[in-house]
């Protein structure tokens, strides 16, 4: 394992994520954790493991809030990456890549003695994380638990895996896919969203069958909910990032064209990322009913990394994540 220090230079960090930069600093001691285990923090309880069977990074299981189940499983099966290249097509430039975190590419930075670490920021926030090197990227996959009932899956990335000329061809986008298998109070759940657009008008949608959704360009706020239809227990899901999914045409050609996918749970589909680097998430032909069913909520991040000499000389950390708020 390498012993290296993470440079603490962050750009484009989401302001509403409390630790978008601070989590990478050496302000808190690194607590060594086993590759698998279980713990509690405030009203949270959960188990974790390194998802080697399906290359899913750091995996959480049986996540509960106040003794009530929230998530059966949380994982990150893939980080799809596209380079700009000459902007001639979806295959232009280096890659595209399907990056997957597993034990074979985990590394340790200075002060780290195990692959999984935890840190505590005051009494109100816990981090559990792994550090990985894939090609030219340093990747820091973390989950945050707030005593208030907030849960945040997060990815930090630094570096390049391409050295094309002119240097602008090295601009690229990472698209981390979080697979959130919700069991809010039980396996019977329903998914909704509330969308606010410029001017303040709102619309609502029910995800009654398997589908994907792209937040429109004029959106100012989007909130998804996963709820138990009888108990009313609900989680609210938001992306604090203003960065949008890829549209068609040059230079990104719709590579990462969705923000969310909703799927009905099937054990045979819990296999990590089963698709190509240029493929969107499948498993919806024909689309199955998801209303009041066991649902899997795929949340997708869009992280643009533009080449600059300053960044290459002193790599910056770029970050994306999602926010899950428990309401009971």
Give the domain ranges of the chain: 3-326
Alpha-carbon dihedral of residues 286, 292, 293, 295, nearest 10 degrees?
90
Instruction: Choose among 112, 101, 328: nearest CA to 232.
Output: 328
Q: At a CB cut-off of 8 Å and minimum separation 6, what does 93 contact?
A: 82, 83, 84, 85, 86, 162, 164, 169, 172
3-state secondary structure of 193: strand
Task: Please report the pLDDT score of residue 241 as a whole number.
Answer: 76
Residue 313: enclosing H or E segment and its boundaries?
Answer: helix 309-313
Say if CB 312 and CB 160 are below 8 A apart.
yes
> For residue 228, how far is the Cα from the chain centroid?
23
Residues with Cβ within 8 Å of 40's Cβ and at least 6 positions away in sequence, in order, are none
CATH 2.70.98.20 is held by the domain 3-326: yes
Which is more confidently placed, 209 or 9? 209
pLDDT of 109 reads 83
Kindly report the pTM of this predicted structure. Answer: 0.94
CA distance 177 to 197: 25
Q: What is the pLDDT of residues 8-18, one digit of tens each?
A: 334 433 333 44
pLDDT in tens, 82-104: 999 999 999 999 999 999 999 99
> Minimal CA–CA distance to 289: which of 211, 222, 209?
209
């Amino acid at each position: 394992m390498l012993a290296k220090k993470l440079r603490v230079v962050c750009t484009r960090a989401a302001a509403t994520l409390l630790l978008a930069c601070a989590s990478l600093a050496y302000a808190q001691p690194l607590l060594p954790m086993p590759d698998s285990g279980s713990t509690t923090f405030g009203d949270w309880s959960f188990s974790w493991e390194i998802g080697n069977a399906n290359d899913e990074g750091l995996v959480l299981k049986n996540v509960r809030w106040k003794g009530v189940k929230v998530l059966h499983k949380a994982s990150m099966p893939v980080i799809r990456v596209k380079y700009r290249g000459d902007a001639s097509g979806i295959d232009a430039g280096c890659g595209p890549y399907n990056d997957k975190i597993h034990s074979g590419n985990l590394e340790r930075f200075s002060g780290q003695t195990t692959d999984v670490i935890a840190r505590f920021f005051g009494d109100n926030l816990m981090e559990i994380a792994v550090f990985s090197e894939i090609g030219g990227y340093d990747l820091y996959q973390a989950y945050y638990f707030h005593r208030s009932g907030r849960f945040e899956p997060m990815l930090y990335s630094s570096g390049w895996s391409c050295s094309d000329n002119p240097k602008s061809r090295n601009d690229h986008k990472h698209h981390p896919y979080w697979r959130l298998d919700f069991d809010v109070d039980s396996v019977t759940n329903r998914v909704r969203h509330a969308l606010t657009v410029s001017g303040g008008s709102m619309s609502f949608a029910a995800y009654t069958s398997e589908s994907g959704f792209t937040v429109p360009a004029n959106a100012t706020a989007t909130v998804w909910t996963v709820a138990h239809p009888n108990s009313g227990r609900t989680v609210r899901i938001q992306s604090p990032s203003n960065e949008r999914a890829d549209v068609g045409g040059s230079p990104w050609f719709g590579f990462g064209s969705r923000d969310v996918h909703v799927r009905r749970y099937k054990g045979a589909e819990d296999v990590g990322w089963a698709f190509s680097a240029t493929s969107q998430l499948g498993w919806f032909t024909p689309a199955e009913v998801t209303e009041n069913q066991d649902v899997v909520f795929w949340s997708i991040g869009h992280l643009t990394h533009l080449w600059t000499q300053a960044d290459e000389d002193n790599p910056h950390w770029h970050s994306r994540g999602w926010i899950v708020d428990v309401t009971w």
